[in-house]
């Protein structure tokens, strides 16, 4: 863990969070204090180095955005607030993983396909016996960007950052494309037998 800057010695986490909106150095100190233990906490719950790093980044990004609204009353509430954000990010991560696993099963997609031939290859990499005509039609109706994001993220199992690098957008945009595309497919498949 990093050492406190002399200016922040004796400051509680709550004081750092309250100061952060007008003093970025206070937020940097909060990060220095908590990034290593919080990363360990996330890794222990995901057993995935990439996911735990992504979640750590998301946690601190959310903490930075939320700091002006922080209303902690005592010295211990700062740490609890930060870990509460991490817990919420972890919960959303697990929901995404569950949804992606469910859609893979529903679509009959085999994990670990090693081909990056792009959009033209996506349909051919789906198990044709399981991938219903209805779902194939719905997939074709998705935007090109959603098809591409789902192909790289769900079929090729690339991280959001890797997909973002390939398609030239930020990871949040990739998440949005995957989420919206899967929502559309899920809605289309309600009541349809594969």
pLDDT in tens, 75-104: 778 889 999 999 999 988 888 777 777 766
Which helix (H) or strand (E) segment is 89 a member of? helix 77-107
Task: Tell me what the pLDDT averaged over the chain comes to.
Answer: 79
Rounded Cα gap, residues 17 and 64, in angstroms: 9
pTM of model > 0.85: no
Please give the domain boundaries of the chain with CATH numbers for all domains. 6-96 (1.10.1740.10), 108-189 (1.10.10.10)
Helix and strand counts by DSSP (H, E) for the chain = 9, 0
pLDDT in tens, 9-37: 889 999 999 999 999 999 999 999 999 99
Taking residue 111's Cβ as centre, other Cβ atoms within 10 Å add up to 10
List CB contacts of 133: < 8 A, sequence separation 6 or more. none
């Amino acid at each position: 863990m990093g050492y406190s800057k002399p200016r922040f010695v004796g400051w509680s986490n709550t004081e750092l969070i309250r100061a952060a909106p007008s003093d970025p150095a206070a937020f940097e100190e909060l990060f220095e204090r908590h990034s290593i233990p919080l990363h360990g906490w996330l890794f222990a719950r995901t057993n995935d180095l990439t996911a735990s790093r992504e979640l750590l980044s998301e946690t601190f990004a959310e903490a930075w955005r939320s700091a002006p609204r922080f209303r902690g009353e005592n010295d211990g509430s700062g740490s609890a607030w930060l870990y509460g954000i991490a817990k919420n990010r972890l919960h959303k991560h697990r929901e995404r993983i569950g949804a992606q696993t469910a859609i893979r099963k529903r679509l009959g997609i085999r994990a670990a396909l090693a081909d990056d031939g792009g959009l033209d290859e996506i349909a051919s990499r789906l198990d044709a016996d399981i991938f219903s005509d209805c779902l194939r039609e719905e997939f074709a109706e998705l935007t090109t960007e959603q098809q591409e994001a789902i192909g790289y993220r769900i079929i090729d199992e690339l991280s959001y950052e890797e997909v973002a690098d390939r398609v030239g957008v930020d990871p949040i945009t990739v998440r949005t494309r995957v989420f919206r595309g899967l929502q559309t497919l899920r809605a289309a498949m309600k009541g349809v037998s594969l």
